């Protein structure tokens, strides 16, 4: 056990002692699953047989701080040695009428009932806190639905009747695909077919919650599996129908793979970070509508970047994605088709750097995306890597010289230009700045007061 774990363990012992043995305090859900898998376990959710009022009373009596974080769900946060623990009273869910939330939560049920309301068997295991030492005593795990055996078989399986469980809450079907991606698991066949039969319920879930799940799916270790499951189950057509035409869309000699396979590969190669993975998913979404075949049978995708941008924007608007994130993804999509080559002049490279800077897209982020996209084209990775490194080294070198990339970097500011011209400001100032910027991007040595005064004077005289 490392120091951090040791300190959590001590804090947990204090909480456990404060609540007394009959509290039946257990760790539940994701933490138990991840711990058994040897994955980095995230938040530790605790559950107890005590009612929230008892949890609060006993914790207070033992001198622990409490925060009533979610009393309507039976949750109290207890703080010990600086660690906060969310403790939820064993609960069952009342009827689900809207496909999203139970009408009521029933507190004071058994641990088994609490586990029975959970979505998947691998998420429906509990471990009494007194056994939370390492090595973990497997036989002490409370596992009424065969979660451990499904973990061993790499299966996501609904707890109970999948048709009923997906009818209660439409988010669970997207979560199933998300866990398949995060854990690299398959979805058990009956559970998978129930997803397809309950798409009408899934349609009732809020887009914000779906977007969170889709993002986790994309950032998982097996995003290809997750995306294929979305396509297979019909969830893809429900939430992201724009992606469907990519499936079966063949390409040209620059690509070894059709569009969808290339897209899956790009997602897989991209660093597991939300903007990069979403951009990987959407960068070629404009290809099917842009596809044309010439007289010689050559396949073209003229202007597909612009169409990808439009579709991405429309999709993100519908999914209510935040502005900052949307801009970051759009910038990656917009610049994915630019490939600076050795033939490019330094000034052409600087013009490209200016475009990235106008879109607030860091060069390194663009580089990460390009590498994934290049690898996913399916020809010699080693060669691609060398070529990419060469491109990046050159762009980095040029960027490090801090060339002026926007008007504010010019040696003469707007006011100085107005003074020089001896006339009122107006749209001409912006035009002149653009002209001067072009000149200094061509030749950065010209970014001096004297040179810019001369160039401005010439421009004003014409
Ligand atoms: P993560 O690593 O993403 O936090 P997690 O398994 O902890 O994974 P949470 O969304 O934090 O997932 O939920 C905690 C637990 O609550 C789950 O493990 C599961 O037991 C239960 N749960 C969460 N959402 C649902 C749901 N929609 N239906 C049924 N049970 C759910
Ligand atoms: Mg969690």
pLDDT tens digits, 412-459: 999 999 999 999 999 999 999 999 999 999 999 999 999 999 999 999
Q: Does the beta carbon of 427 sit less than 6 angstroms from any atom of ligand 1? A: no
- Average the pLDDT over 350-359 and give the result: 96
Q: How far is CA 10 from the centre of its chain?
A: 34
User: What is the average pLDDT value for the chain, to the nearest integer?
Assistant: 94
Nearest CA residue ID for atom 27, ligand 1: 172
Look up residue 287 and give its two tokens: 């290809």
| Distance from residue 99's CA to the centre of ligand 1 (Å) | 17
Q: Which residue has the higher pLDDT, 347 or 7?
A: 347
Percentage of the residues of the chain whose pLDDT score is greater than 70? 99
Query: In the structure, what pLDDT confidence band is assigned to residue 40 with cuts at 50, 70 and 90?
Result: confident
Q: In the prediction, which pLDDT does 136 show?
A: 72
User: Is residue 29 in contact with ligand 1, taking CB distance under 6 Å?
Assistant: yes
What is the DSSP track for 20-58?
A: -GGG--EEETHHHHHHHHTS-----EEEESS-HHHHHHH
Report CA(190)–ligand 1 centroid distance (Å).
Answer: 21
pLDDT tens, position by position, 81-120: 999 999 999 999 888 888 888 888 889 899 999 999 999 9
Which region, left, alpha or beta, applies to residue 38 given φ > 0 means left and ψ of -120 to 50 means alpha? left
Mutate-to-test residue for ligand 1 from 26, 27, 28, 29, highest number of ligand atoms within 8 A of CB? 29
When pLDDT is averaged across residues 247-275 and rounded to a whole number, the result is 94
What is the number of the ligand closest to the CA of 123?
A: 1
Instruction: Output 462 or 159, whichever has higher pLDDT.
Output: 159
Q: Which atom of ligand 1 is nearest to the CA of 29?
A: 18
Q: What percent of the chain has pLDDT over 90?
A: 84
Cα 250 to ligand 1 centre (Å):
39
Residue 9: its pLDDT value, please?
Answer: 86
**Residue nearest ligand 1's atom 10 by CA:** 30
User: Do 146 and 168 meet the contact criterion of CB atoms below 8 Å apart?
Assistant: no
Indicate which atom in ligand 1 lies nearest the CA of residue 42: 2
Ligand 1 within 6 A of CB of 42: yes
pLDDT in tens, 226-258: 999 999 999 999 999 999 999 999 998 878 899
| Ligand 1 atom closest to residue 34's alpha carbon, by position in its atom list | 2
The string of pLDDT tens digits covering residues 294-315 is 999 999 999 999 999 999 999 9
Which residues does 389 contact at the CB level (< 8 Å), separation at least 6?
Answer: none
Q: How far is the CA of 217 from the centre of ligand 2 (A)?
A: 15
Q: Which of 29, 67, 25, 64 has the alpha carbon at shortest distance from 45?
A: 29
Give the mutation target among 47, 113, 114, 118 for probing the ligand 1 site: most ligand atoms within 8 A of CB: 118
Comparison of pLDDT for 21 and 373, the residue scoring more: 373
Give the pLDDT score at 1: 61
**Residue 119 CB less than 6 A away from ligand 1:** yes
Q: Would you state the pLDDT for residue 134?
A: 64
Give residue 22's Cα distance to chain centre. 41
Is the beta carbon of 114 within 6 A of some atom in ligand 1? no
For ligand 1, atom 8, name the residue with the nearest CA: 30
Q: Which residues pair with 75 in a beta bridge?
A: 70, 88
Report which bound ligand comes closest to the CA of 168: 1
Q: Which residue has the higher pLDDT, 381 or 362?
A: 362
Q: Is residue 66's pLDDT more than 90? A: yes
DSSP symbols for 245-312: GGTT----TT-SS-HHHHHHHHHHHS-S-HHHHHHHHHTTTTHHHH-EE-TTS-EE-TTHHHHHHHHH
pLDDT on residue 180: 98
State the pLDDT at residue 50.
96
């Amino acid at each position: 056990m490392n120091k951090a774990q040791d300190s959590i363990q001590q804090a947990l012992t204090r909480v456990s002692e404060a609540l007394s043995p009959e509290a039946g305090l257990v760790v539940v859900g994701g933490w138990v699953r991840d711990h058994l898998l040897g994955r980095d376990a995230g938040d530790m959710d605790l559950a107890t047989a005590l009612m929230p009022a008892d949890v609060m009373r006993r914790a207070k009596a033992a001198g622990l701080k409490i925060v009533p974080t979610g009393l309507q769900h039976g949750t109290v946060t207890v703080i010990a040695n600086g660690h906060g623990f969310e403790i939820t009273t064993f609960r069952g869910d009342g009827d689900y009428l809207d496909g999203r939330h139970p009408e009521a939560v029933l507190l004071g049920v058994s641990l088994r009932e609490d586990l029975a309301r959970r979505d998947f068997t691998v998420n429906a295991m509990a471990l009494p806190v007194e056994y939370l030492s390492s090595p973990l005593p497997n036989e002490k795990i409370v596992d009424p639905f065969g979660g451990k055996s499904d973990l061993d078989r790499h299966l996501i399986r609904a707890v109970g009747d999948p048709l009923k469980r997906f009818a209660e809450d439409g988010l669970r079907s997207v979560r199933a695909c998300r866990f398949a991606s995060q854990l690299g698991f398959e979805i058990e066949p009956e559970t998978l077919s129930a997803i397809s039969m309950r798409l009408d319920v899934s349609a009732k879930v809020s887009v914000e919650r779906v977007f969170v799940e889709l993002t986790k799916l994309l950032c998982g270790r097996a995003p290809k599996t997750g995306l294929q499951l979305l396509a297979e189950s019909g969830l893809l057509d429900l939430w992201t129908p724009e992606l469907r035409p990519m499936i079966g869309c063949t390409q040209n000699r620059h690509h070894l793979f059709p569009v969808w396979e290339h897209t899956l590969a790009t997602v897989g190669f991209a660093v597991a970070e939300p903007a990069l993975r979403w951009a990987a998913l959407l960068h070629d979404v404009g290809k099917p509508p842009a596809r044309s075949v010439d007289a010689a049978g050559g396949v073209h995708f003229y202007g597909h970047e612009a169409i990808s941008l439009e579709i991405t924007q429309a999709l993100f608007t519908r999914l209510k994605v935040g502005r900052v994130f949307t801009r970051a993804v759009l910038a990656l999509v917009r610049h994915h088709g630019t490939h600076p080559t050795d033939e490019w002049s330094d000034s052409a490279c600087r013009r490209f750097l200016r475009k990235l800077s106008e879109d607030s897209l860091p060069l390194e982020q663009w580089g990460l995306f390009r590498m994934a996209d290049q690898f996913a084209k399916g020809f010699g990775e080693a060669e691609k890597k060398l070529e990419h490194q060469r491109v990046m080294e050159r762009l980095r070198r040029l960027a490090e010289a801090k060339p002026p990339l926007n008007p504010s970097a010019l040696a003469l500011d707007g006011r100085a230009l107005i003074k020089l011209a001896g006339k009122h400001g107006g749209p001409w100032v912006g035009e002149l700045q653009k002209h001067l910027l072009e000149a200094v991007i061509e030749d950065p040595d010209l970014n001096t007061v004297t040179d810019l005064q001369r160039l401005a004077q010439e421009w004003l005289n014409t």
